[in-house]
Amino acid sequence: MEIRLEGQATQQPPRAIADHGVIGNLSTMALIGLDGTIDFMCWPTFDSPSLFAALLDPDIGGAFELAPAVADARVLQRYLPDSNVLLTRWLSDEFSAEILDLMAAPSEAGNDAPCLIRRVRVTRGRVRFRLRCAPRFDYARVTPTVTVGSEEVLFAAGELRVRLCGAVEFKAEPGAVSASFTLEAGQHRDFVLDDASAEPLDADDCDSIVNRTVRYWQDWAAHGSYRGRWRDAVMRSALLLKLMTSRRHGSIVAAPTFGLPETRGGSRNWDYRGTWIRDASFTVYALLRLGYPAEALAFTQWAAKRAETCPHGSLRVMYAVDGGPVPSEVTLDHLSGYGGAQPVRIGNAAADQLQLDIYGALLDAIYLTNKYGAASSHAEWEGVLRVVGYVCDNWKRPDAGIWELRSEPVEHLHSRLMCWVAVDRAMRLAQKRSLAAPFAKWAEARNALSENIWSNFFDENLGHFVRSKGSRELDGAILMMPLVRFIGATDPAWLATLDAVGDQLSDNGLVMRYNRLDGLDGKEGSFAACAFWHVECLARAGRLQQARDNFESLLTLGNHLQLYSEEFDVRGEMLGNFPQALTHLALISAAYYLDRALDGSKNRLWPA
């Protein structure tokens, strides 16, 4: 089937972005379709080359297919309660069968090799299954050799050696293996994909790992403190954020995927397998509010380390999971792309942009962690001094802004706002902890930033704030103004801005980032995080009924597992990399505030 969008002919992808669940082990993640196919996974870490990428090219990307050999069964997919263990079920008149998918949870030793288990089980009837495993190494640029042994297959190329084990007769194909087997009610079979250097697992080992992994996630979820109206959605978001966290480094990837388009068949296809400084304050706020201070502290320490090791106070927009530089952006021209969306990119050129908003996100995270977690070290504070000094000297510069525009830099309101946040939070932290700081210089910069924002970004004729100096347009990032306490949520100037955002950027609760040219071809969808920010702004403005209506509407746009991508098209279908951390962070913040507001809480809802 062909669909035509943006003047292009594109192939209909075999699986919608939304038709996936995810599993992981705090080192990497895999996407599993409703048909039981693993069609995206990087191995062995989030930012390693892909092992399976059929989502981006069904012909050559590589996939691990496993499902009943029938076409008319009803398929359901869910997580085991309070876990990241995925269960896919097939139900028909003649049989019922299921696959339990998981990656082994980290052990206490913490040096585990990656291990993926697929447990097939029949609960009724007699079922024949088909399996085909076709890994493609190095972003599908390398087809491995295949060596079939007794109930074991070795896929190898260079130093990478991946093993598949299972009690079936594997048949070799070029770069793949296949198998067919039948199970009766009450029978099950395990398939294990792991590092070939690890000891092979027996049946007892698999049982132990399955039980340990379920227990690991449920124990973690039990520490969550949210008990509000939307616990299912909030805790799924929390579990996802934990899944996207590097156990080794403490960083959190923006998404585990690359190349999923923001426009169907278009060219807005980015690699999000890094950690954005931009997400810092959202991450720390969400984790603290949900009762996970250890994860909040680990992420803040990872982010603060970037400032600590930066001699001039200038930070990169994003970093690799281990804190190193993000690879240079290149295109994978051999991949056809999701639904024909090209080019498929890895690496990210935006890492080298000037984005001044990141400094406010970092300082807000450090401030929150100091207030509700552990105090920063002396070395971390020295890093803060350098970062804030850089902000004081550079805040007037035009930049690419939060949305990483690939056009001429301009002076963005959001960037100016977050520079104000950086200086403000540094001053508050220094005062609360009696830390040495150049208070006079900082106070002068904070006041100048506030005056500059009102003078250059509030349009008296329009009666509301605008996205950039000299512009008359709006930007979804403006919604951050009351959330970071720059302006009161019921200030008339802000309410007028909120109304303007609703009129010009919102459609039935969905909110665009902007409505303008941005240096890229084609249009994009509405931005999911902006929609949740809008909900929180409405709630803070006292418009609780509208906020709740919008929030409930957004919840219906999540997929069957309450997972969200980066954007929605006009039909509410998911676009962009999936699942997206920033979307889930904004969902948590909106749910937390709205829930408290609906309860009429008089407590302070945002740390001062």
Q: Do 142 and 79 share a structural domain?
A: yes
Residue 142 forms part of a structural domain: yes
pLDDT at 16 over 90: yes
Does the bond joining 256 to the residue before it have cis omega, within 30 degrees of 0? no
Residue 3 forms part of a structural domain: no
Q: What is the pLDDT of residues 102-121, one digit of tens each?
A: 999 988 765 678 999 999 99
pLDDT of residue 524: 73
Q: Do 195 and 130 share a structural domain?
A: yes
Q: Do 256 and 217 share a structural domain?
A: no
Residue after which a domain boundary falls, among 193, 222, 251: 222
Q: Do 264 and 168 share a structural domain?
A: no
Question: What's the CATH code of the domain at 392?
Answer: 1.50.10.10
Q: How many domains does the chain have?
A: 2
pLDDT at 605 over 50: no
Q: Do 499 and 463 share a structural domain?
A: yes
Alpha-carbon distance of 473 to 467, in angstroms, equals: 6
Q: Do 409 and 263 share a structural domain?
A: yes
pLDDT band at 5 (very low <50, low <70, confident <90, very high): very low
pLDDT at 394 over 60: yes
Alpha-carbon distance of 433 to 435, in angstroms, equals: 5
Select the highest-mean-pLDDT range: 6-10, 69-73, 363-367: 363-367
Residue after which a domain boundary falls, among 187, 222, 257: 222
Q: What is the mean pLDDT of the chain?
A: 93
Residue 605 forms part of a structural domain: no
Residue 6 forms part of a structural domain: no
Alpha-carbon distance of 240 to 244, in angstroms, equals: 6
Q: Do 309 and 188 share a structural domain?
A: no
- Nearest alpha-carbon partner for 297 in 345, 230, 251: 251
- Segment 268-290 mean pLDDT: 94
**49-58, 152-161, 509-518: which range is least confident on average?**
509-518
Instruction: Note whether 121 and 98 are within 8 A (CB).
Output: yes
pLDDT of residue 2: 32
Q: Do 320 and 247 share a structural domain?
A: yes
Residue 208 forms part of a structural domain: no
pLDDT band at 373 (very low <50, low <70, confident <90, very high): confident
Q: Do 329 and 188 share a structural domain?
A: no
Residue 564 forms part of a structural domain: yes
Residue 604 forms part of a structural domain: no
* Phi/psi at 381 (5° precision): -65, -35
Question: What's the CATH code of the domain at 134?
Answer: 2.70.98.50
Q: What is the domain extent for residue 170?
A: 11-201+213-222
Q: Can you read off the two tokens belonging to residue 201?
A: 């697992």
Instruction: Note whether 392 and 363 are within 8 A (CB).
Output: no
- Nearest alpha-carbon partner for 384 in 436, 319, 450: 436
Model pTM score: 0.95
Q: Do 246 and 102 share a structural domain?
A: no
Q: Can you read off the two tokens belonging to residue 476?
A: 């979804």
Looking at the DSSP bridge assignments, the partners of residue 21 are 32
Q: Do 253 and 121 share a structural domain?
A: no
In one letter, which amino acid is 165? C
pLDDT of residue 517: 54
H or E segment to which residue 502 belongs:
helix 492-504
Alpha-carbon distance of 407 to 256, in angstroms, equals: 27
Residue 2 forms part of a structural domain: no
pLDDT band at 9 (very low <50, low <70, confident <90, very high): very low
Residue after which a domain boundary falls, among 222, 253, 268: 222
First to last CA, the chain: 55
State the CB neighbour count (10 A cutoff) for residue 560. 13
pLDDT of residue 87: 98
Alpha-carbon distance of 201 to 213, in angstroms, equals: 15
Q: Do 194 and 84 share a structural domain?
A: yes
Q: 14 Cβ partners below 8 Å, 6+ apart?
A: 33, 39, 54, 58
